[in-house]
Amino acid sequence: MQQRSSHYRASGLVLCLMSVTRDITERIRIEDSLKQKERYQRALLDNFPFAVWLKDTESRFLSVNTGFVRIFGAKDPAELIGKNDFDIAPHDMAEGYRADDREVMASRQNKSVEELILTEGERKWFETVKAPVLGDNGELLGTVGFARDITERKATDEEIKRLAFYDSLTHLPNRRLLRDRLKHALASSTRSGKPVAVLFIDLDNFKTLNDTLGHHVGDLLLQQVADRLTGCVREGDTVARLGGDEFVVVLEDLSNALYEAATHAENVGEKILVALNQPYDLAGHPCASTPSIGIALFAEPETTIDELMKRADVAMYQAKDAGRNTLRFFDPEMQAAVAARVALEADLRDGLEQAQLLLHYQVQVDGTGRVTGAEALVRWQHPQRGLVSPAEFIPLAEETGLILPLGDWVLATACHQLVAWARQPETAHLTLAVNVSARQFRRKDFVRQVRTILESSGARPQQLKLELTESLLLEDVEGIIAKMNALKALGVSFSLDDFGTGYSSLSYLKRLPLDQLKIDQSFVRDILTDPNDAAIARTIVALAKSLGLAVIAEGVETEAQRAFLASAGCHACQGYLFGRPLPTEAFGELIRRA
Instruction: Write down the domain spans for the chain.
Output: 1-34, 48-152, 163-330, 348-593
Domain spanning 348-593 has what CATH number? 3.20.20.450
How high is the pLDDT of residue 268? 95
Query: In sequence order, what are the residues at sequence separation of 6 or more whose Cβ sits closer than 8 angstroms to the Cβ of residue 591?
Result: 363, 371, 426, 427, 430
DSSP secondary structure letters along 391-410: HHHHHHHHHHTTHHHHHHHH
Give the confidence band of 6 by pLDDT, cuts at 50, 70, 90: low
Of 369, 368, 292, nearest to 325 by C-alpha is 292
Summary mean pLDDT of the chain: 86
Least confident of 76-80, 281-285, 468-472, 485-489: 76-80
How high is the pLDDT of residue 145? 86
How high is the pLDDT of residue 197? 94
Q: Can you list the alpha helix ranges (DSSP code H) found in 120-242?
A: 151-165, 175-192, 206-213, 215-230
CA 567 from centroid of its chain's CA atoms: 54
Give percent above pLDDT 90 in the chain: 50
What average pLDDT score do residues 255-278 get? 90
pLDDT over 70 (residue 49): no
What average pLDDT score do residues 529-540 get? 93
Q: Which fold has domain 163-330?
A: Alpha-Beta Plaits (3.30.70)
What average pLDDT score do residues 322-328 get? 91
Of 362, 360, 379, 390, nearest to 573 by C-alpha is 362
Question: Beta-strand (E) ranges in 502-592?
Answer: 516-519, 550-553, 572-573
How high is the pLDDT of residue 432? 97
How high is the pLDDT of residue 312? 94
What average pLDDT score do residues 307-313 get? 92
What average pLDDT score do residues 422-439 get? 94
Give the C-alpha separation, 316 to 45, whole Å: 65
Give the confidence band of 551 by pLDDT, cuts at 50, 70, 90: very high
Largest alpha-carbon pair distance within the chain?
172
Q: φ, ψ for residue 129 (rounded to 5)?
A: -130, 125
How high is the pLDDT of residue 503? 53
Give the C-alpha separation, 95 to 131, whole Å: 18
Burial of 102 (0-12, 13-18, 19+ CB in 10 A): exposed
Burial of 111 (0-12, 13-18, 19+ CB in 10 A): exposed
Give the confidence band of 366 by pLDDT, cuts at 50, 70, 90: very high
What average pLDDT score do residues 34-43 get? 53
Burial of 43 (0-12, 13-18, 19+ CB in 10 A): exposed
**Tell me: domain 48-152, CATH 3.30.450.20, correct?**
yes
pLDDT digits (tens, 9 = 90+) for 138-185: 788 888 888 888 888 888 777 777 777 899 899 999 999 999 999 999
Least confident of 302-311, 331-340, 468-477: 331-340
Residue with the larger pLDDT of the pair 9 and 476: 476
Give the C-alpha separation, 54 to 146, whole Å: 9
- Do 68 and 42 touch, CB atoms closer than 8 A? no
- Do 240 and 185 touch, CB atoms closer than 8 A? no
DSSP secondary structure letters along 17-42: EEEEEE--HHHHHHHHHHHHHHHHHH
pLDDT digits (tens, 9 = 90+) for 89-113: 777 777 888 888 888 888 677 788 8
How high is the pLDDT of residue 452? 96
Give the confidence band of 209 by pLDDT, cuts at 50, 70, 90: confident
Residue with the larger pLDDT of the pair 242 and 80: 242
Residue with the larger pLDDT of the pair 127 and 21: 127
Cα dihedral 462, 360, 340, 291 in deg (nearest 10): 40
**3-state SS assignment for residue 331:** coil
Q: Cα 102–74–83 angle (5° rounding)?
A: 35
Residue with the larger pLDDT of the pair 10 and 500: 500
What average pLDDT score do residues 200-210 get? 91
DSSP secondary structure letters along 249-279: EEE-S--SSHHHHHHHHHHHHHHHHHHHTS-
What average pLDDT score do residues 480-503 get? 88
Residue with the larger pLDDT of the pair 301 and 317: 317
How high is the pLDDT of residue 476? 79
How high is the pLDDT of residue 523? 93
Cα dihedral 478, 481, 482, 488 in deg (nearest 10): 180
pLDDT over 90 (residue 568): yes
Give the confidence band of 33 by pLDDT, cuts at 50, 70, 90: low
CA 245 from centroid of its chain's CA atoms: 4
Residue with the larger pLDDT of the pair 460 and 334: 460
Give the C-alpha separation, 515 to 495, whole Å: 6
How high is the pLDDT of residue 431? 96
How high is the pLDDT of residue 457? 95
pLDDT over 80 (residue 224): yes
Give the C-alpha separation, 311 to 332, whole Å: 9
